[in-house]
Every structure is written in C-alpha cells, then in structure tokens.
Structure 1
Amino acid sequence: MVQAVEIQRTVTKKEKPSEQKLGFGVYYTDHMFILDYSVESGWHSPRIVPYQPITLDPAAKVFHYGQTVFEGLKAYRTEDGRVLLFRPQKNIQRLNKSNERLSIPYLDEEIFIDALQKLIDVDRDWIPSTPGTSLYIRPFIIATQPALGVAPSTQYKFMIIMSPVGAYYANGVNPVKIYVESHYVRAVAGGVGEAKTAGNYAAGLSAQEEAKAKGYEQVLWLDGVHRKYIEEVGSMNVFFKINGTVHTPALNGSILDGITRNSIIHQLKHWNIPVEERTISIEELYEAHEKGMLEEAFGTGTAAVISPIGELNWRGDKLVINNGQTGELSAKLYESLTGIQSGTLPDPFGWMMEV
C-alpha cells in the first residue's frame, strides 16, 4: 500500500545552471526523497525534503560491509512540454534483484513509482529542455543500523536524488578506444556482479585509471575464471556485429542485466536483425576481425545509450573496428532509442511513462 508522502519544500531555491554547461552529475535539484525501513515497521515515513547532507552513525553498516544498492534512470522533456520516464518498472525490478543478493528488504514497485512521480513533480522545473539533455535520477538504498557485527542491517534508508545532465556526446557520437583488461577482475558468477552495488564499481577503478594512463577511455572486462570470455565494457554492456549478426555476452551471474541492453535486443529483433546472447571469447573476436567479419562494436548504458568502440588493445595487439568510425547500426540504434526517449519518434514497445 502506498503511504501518503509528506512534502517539505525548500525556502531557498538554488540557482539553475546553464543548460549548455550541465556536465554529468554535477548539479542537484532542490529536493530529495527519503523512505525509512526498520524490522518493526517495514518501509515507512515517505517524505520529500530539501536536498541536504545525510547524517549517519559512524558504525552504520553501509560504511563497513558495503550493504548498498542503486539504480539510474532518466526523465526527458519532450518538445511539447511533456515529461517521460524510460522503463522505470525495469529499474525497480532490477533494484529488487540487487536487494535480494545484498540481503536488503524488498521494495514495493508502487512505492518506487509513486516516489519517482512525486519527486519529479516537485522539481519539474529542473528538467532541461535543450535537445540531448535530461534529468538523471539516482535511487539508492543504504544500510544504516549502527552495529559492527557481520550480519544484514535491520535499518535502511531508500533515497532518490536527481541531477540535470547535458548531452553525453557534446560533439556527436564518436567511437572510444578500449583497453582489454587481463589482470584485474570485475566480478565472477556467484559474486555480486549482476547486482547494481557500489563495490562493483570500486573494483573497476584501478583498471580504469591504468587504461586512461595508456590512452584508452575504458576497459573491456574478461571473465574471472578463464580470463578469456568477454563480459562488460567499463560499466556498460557490450555488443559486437559479426558477419551481419549482433552478438552480446549472455547473462551468466556476473554480468549486469542492463535495461538499455534489453531495449537494444528488443529493437534489433523488431528490425529483424539477427541477435544472439552467448559466450564470446576475446580470441574469437580477433579472429573475426582478421577475417574481415567484425563490422561494429558498441557499449550500451543509461548515460551514453550507445557508445561505439573504435579500437581494442589486447596484450599490445591493437584491433581497429570499422576504421575507427561509428558504424551504421550503432548510429541507427542511438537515433532510434534517443528518439523514443525524447518523444520525437513513436514508441512501438510502450516503454515510456508520462509523469
């Protein structure tokens, strides 16, 4: 049952930044949503309050045992002034899947959607309208019980903060160079790789820094057992077009079930383009390139939607894809998905929710 949300509006509104200089996750709206959990009361006391720091006991379990999960989605302002959310039901489904893995209590879908709608409505004037911009939304849960025993927390906070963000590609969609990581491991099946939890991202920072020092934007992760099967690229899912068929690593317990990934698969099938979810080795990829069969590669995620890959470097062996140019299919997928999200193209799948 959805509880009434108490709304405390700020008395000092922030000055809004220029829509041409938003960046990503730099500015935050005037308000935030908070929902508490205790074993005795369950999820309770939903409220919207002015954006503010969080005060926690130093012994809160989130600091010591990493019991936290999060999501990311966007709200878009259409040309006619409507506000649309992209597949928010998939976000709460994935959040609860992460909750299950991290021993965090289930959060009702209706509560999640209601919180999104009410917070967006309160800060509606923060949603930018310049083409390519959006309102990034970050729901997250943290364990707040002050206790140092290694056991699931008995207290939690679910919160939502929001940030107006600029176009991910300021100068158009351009391919990135990727370093294939052979030393560090992001996740293994049976671990928390398929959960959207903070530790997954912390585990990738060292490899990312080393890749950037070598002149590469991100890393391509290989599996943690054989160190040969492709998993993700940076914090994105990854796709390869080989001889007319699009391939992506199958979900195996260590790969995040990306909502953009799922949407791309639906779109490809809608266009009758062959798509396969399967195990793909890095050797197979290089062999396909040598035979002239590797046509395109791209990452998918909420922030960039589509991120074309122009080069891979595996053990010093550089592989240039599609002459380092954005592929035709990558560009078509980007235009199609962003068109649906912004309301400039029809939504044949019923993905968008108006707020």
Structure 2
Amino acid sequence: MSPFNQTTGNHQTFTLTGIPGMPEKDFWLALPLCLLYSFTFLGNVTILVVIKAERSLREPMYYFLAMLAATDLSLSWSSMPTMISVHLFNWRSVTLDACITQMFFIHAFGGVESGVLVAMAFDRFVAIRFPLHYATILTQGAITKIGAAVLLRSVGLVLPVPFLIKRLPFCHSNILSHACCLHQDAMRLACADTSINSIYGLLAVIFAIALDALILLVSYFLILQAVLGIASWEERLKTLNTCLSHICAVLLFYVPLIGMTLSHRFGKHLSPVVHTAMANIYLLLPPVLNPVVYSVRTKQIRQRIVLVFRRGRVGS
C-alpha cells in the first residue's frame, strides 16, 4: 500500500469560492449575476431567431454570427449552474465528476469560440479580397465543414483534460479559487506531479488560442492590404467598418482570456480577487456584450430585430 493511501484519502468533492473576503455580500452578487445570464440568453437567442426568421440574413457572415451566438450561449450555460448555486443558494460543494464535466465544457466551448472568431475573420477576408466569388467560396457546405472542424478540433484538444485530472490525487486542500471549475485551478490542488497536465495545458493553449491569434493577425494584415488597394477613402472606411464588430468581439474574448491565463501561470503572488475577477470577466463579458456589439454595429441586424419585434406586436 502506498504512503498516500496510508495517511489520507483522496478528495471526491471540491469547495467552490465566491468573491474572496466578501462572503456576507454573496447574495447581493446573485442579482447582477442573474441579470447578466438573462441578458446573455435574451441577446443571443434574439440574434439566432432573427437570423433564422429573415431570409435576407441567410448569408455566410450571419451563419458565422449564429455560430458565435450559439457558442456564447453554451459557454454561459457551462458556468451558470455552479455560479448561481454559490452566490444565490450558498451551495459550494461540487463532486469531482461534476467538476470535471463542467471543466470540459467550459474549456471546449472556449476553444470553439476562438475557432469561430477565426472563421469570421476568414469570412471578412474573402468578402473584401474576393467579393465577386464570395458566395461561391463560402457555400453552405463549406460553412458546415468549417463549423464541424472548429467543434471537432476543440473537443479533440480538451478531451484528454478530464482523464489527466481524474488520475490525480487530491489529498490537501479541496478549495477552488472560483465559483466554477477550471483546469489550472483544480490542477494546483493535486498532491502529485502535475507536470504532464501543465505541459499538455500549455500545448493546448499554443495549438488553439495562440495559433488562432496568429491567424487572426495574419488575416487582418491581408484585409488591410486589400483595403489599402481601394482608391477611394470613403470606400476604404466603409469596408473597414464591416470589420469593426468582429474586431470588438475578438478583443472581448482574447483580452480577458490572456489576462486569466497569465494570472494563473505567472500571478500566483496576486490577490485572489484578481484571479476571480479575471475568470468572471472571461466567462461573463463576451457572451453578454457580443449580441450588443453586433446589434449596434451591424445595420442589417439592428433593422431586422426592430422588424421582428414589430411583427410580433402586430401579431399579438
């Protein structure tokens, strides 16, 4: 029998954490949290309903936008159960299997969102660089294959994570730093060598997030080249304006993600509040703001939303 089994048992539950230092105010955090999830649901479902209802929006750009909205909903729902239970009901205990399941979905849908943003950048590049061949390059079949490739890549990269975590013994503290389960957070609680988890996590980030960020930079470099080839300044600005919503979505996703990743890997000396804030911003901000950005910045979406609601009022 190993020394580990002789001295202590392996934890089969984790304890989730709200905002450090403010346990008495957790209930008051539940209200804005519920509002954020409600706005996320309403905004993304509205985008999906409008794109499905309006035939004029059945174009590649809006198909990718529908993928982004569906991914935002999924990412939001992945974190919602434990966040609501911690802040509203003060239920802080989660089983190891439930924690690993949530961890898988959060990281998988995070990877999907990154891939969808790359696909949307490719869509903008084709629309600007090859406008006459836009519909023939990005057919429905091609869009379906791109979406399937994005999903399979993310699932394939994250699939080993549950098995890598499951094999670890947790015999010291079982208190997580957040109100949801993340790989880096759970890994630090293990009382065994986590070098394999750490190396695989780093490789997954490089092959997914870092590679996607590089592709995005190259895509916008090529887009800028194509825009500078347009003679009229007015047409240049008009063309660039079609990319502003996507640029905002990229910044909303990557800035919190990079901040959270760096704080986990290199910011162990930072206050726990910083780690909690970065994780909450990454999980909550993009899903709730992406529909707002696209509704405000995209004239066609804004007009169709108004039209759909007007039809609903007339019908009622």
| TM-score, reference length from structure 2 | 0.25
Give 1 or 2: higher helix fraction: 2
Give 1 or 2: higher strand fraction: 1
Larger Rg: 2
| TM-score, reference length from structure 1 | 0.23
